[in-house]
Structures are given as C-alpha cells and as structure tokens.
Amino acid sequence: MNTASICEYIEKNFSEKRKIHTEGVRQTAMKLAEKFGEGNHNLVEKAELAALYHDMYRGVPVDVLNYYVKHLDLDEKRYKDNANLAHGKIAAIVIQRDFDEKDQDIINAVSYHTTGRPEMSLLEKIIYIADAVEPNRSYPGVQNLRQILEDDLDRAVLQSLTNTINYVRSEKKFLDEDTVLAQEYFEKKIKEKGE
C-alpha cells in the first residue's frame, strides 16, 4: 500500500474544501479503525487508504462523470446525472485501473461509501460513517450521530442510513436501493443482538 501516489493526486486535483474534507475523513477513519479494529494495524492502514481514495471523483463536472458512467459500463439509469451516487462507483473502478488497488475490501469501501449496503465489512462501515461525521461536517443530526458512534458503530451506521433516507425522500430525489437494503439489514442485526 502506497499513499504517496494518491496524496499527489489529491494535491493536484482537489479543491481546498475537498482536501480539508478528505483529511478529516482520513483522520476519523484511522481513529475508528484503531477503536473498533482491536489492534489490527492493517485495518488502520486500509482505512487511511480508502479514506484518501473515497472522493476522487467528487466535485468533478457532471458531464465528466456521465462520460465515465458510460465508458465504465455503469448503470446509466442509476448513475447518469447523479454525482452523489456515481462518484464512489467511478473511484472504485479507477483505483483498480490507475492505482493498481487489488484489496477488494478497500474497493468496496470506496464503492459503497455514499449508499452503504447490507453486510458491510468493518472497513466499509468505518469509511461510510467517517465520511458522515468527520469534524468539518455540520448538518442537523451530526452531533447525535457522533454521540452514538462513541459506543456503537452499527447503531451509528443505522442512524446515518436513516438520516439519508429521510433526507433523500424529503427532497424527492432518487433513493438508491442499497441504502434501503442496508437500513433493513442493520435494523435486523441490531434487533437480533437484543439491543
């Protein structure tokens, strides 16, 4: 794992705002990996790399994203003209092609960092929630999310999924099926844990 090439890419291609956000996600993800990974140093390294990769195509003009959607054979009905959903999928493909990323867990964490999905790995949950709660985030409910995260990663992920679903529905925007299925999965998982 080499972070130098992705850091160079970020320095050249990211806006100042995106750099600040990415650094916030990187630091948050590494702390969460230390906290929930129980001494798994490899998880901390993977969390750092996935955090650096996660927004490679955020802030890219929609016509450029649409070009990638078409040429990378992504589902046009789902991703065309939808930067929020497309950027993670594009990044997940590009990191394999251009950065020779072979770790499927990192690839999935990048791919699903916006939508979540059922049966997310520990790394996927960490990147998903780090993106939502990094210190520069300020939106209604973020403090509550941070408090939940102090004790329970799965509950924080569920709360974030629920917040997303409620927001997307209130805005009458396209709601990705992975997010709905992820919410159902985590509701069931937490119920089964007897919490």
Q: What is the mean pLDDT of residues 177-186?
A: 97
In a domain, 55, yes or no: yes
In a domain, 37, yes or no: yes
> Which amino acid, 195?
E
pTM of the prediction? 0.95
Which pLDDT score is estimated for 83? 93
In a domain, 42, yes or no: yes
In a domain, 53, yes or no: yes
Q: What is the mean pLDDT of residues 160-183?
A: 95
| 101 three-state secondary structure | coil
Q: What is the mean pLDDT of residues 54-79?
A: 95
In a domain, 177, yes or no: no
Q: Which domain holds residue 44?
A: 4-139
Per-residue model confidence as pLDDT tens digits over 141-166: 999 999 999 999 999 999 999 999 99
- Cα 194 to Cα 12, 19, 154: the distances in Å are 48, 40, 13
Handedness of CA 103, 105, 108, 109 (dihedral sign): negative
In a domain, 86, yes or no: yes
CA atoms within 13 A on the CB side of 17: 3
- Note the Cα 170 to chain centre separation in Å: 22
Residue 146 to residue 5: CA distance in whole angstroms: 31
Q: Would you say residue 1 has pLDDT above 80?
A: no
In a domain, 189, yes or no: no
Judge whether 81 and 173 are in contact, CB under 8 Å: no
User: What are 179's two structure tokens?
Assistant: 């997010």
Residue 112 to residue 124: CA distance in whole angstroms: 7
In a domain, 118, yes or no: yes
pLDDT band at 138 (very low <50, low <70, confident <90, very high): very high
Handedness of CA 192, 28, 81, 112 (dihedral sign): negative
Residue 174 to residue 48: CA distance in whole angstroms: 30
What element of type H or E holds 152?
none
Please give the mean pLDDT across all residues of the chain: 95
Per-residue model confidence as pLDDT tens digits over 73-119: 999 999 999 999 999 999 999 999 999 999 999 999 999 999 999 99
What is the total count of domains within the chain? 1
Q: Would you say residue 193 has pLDDT above 90?
A: no
User: What's the CATH number where 53 sits?
Assistant: 1.10.3210.10
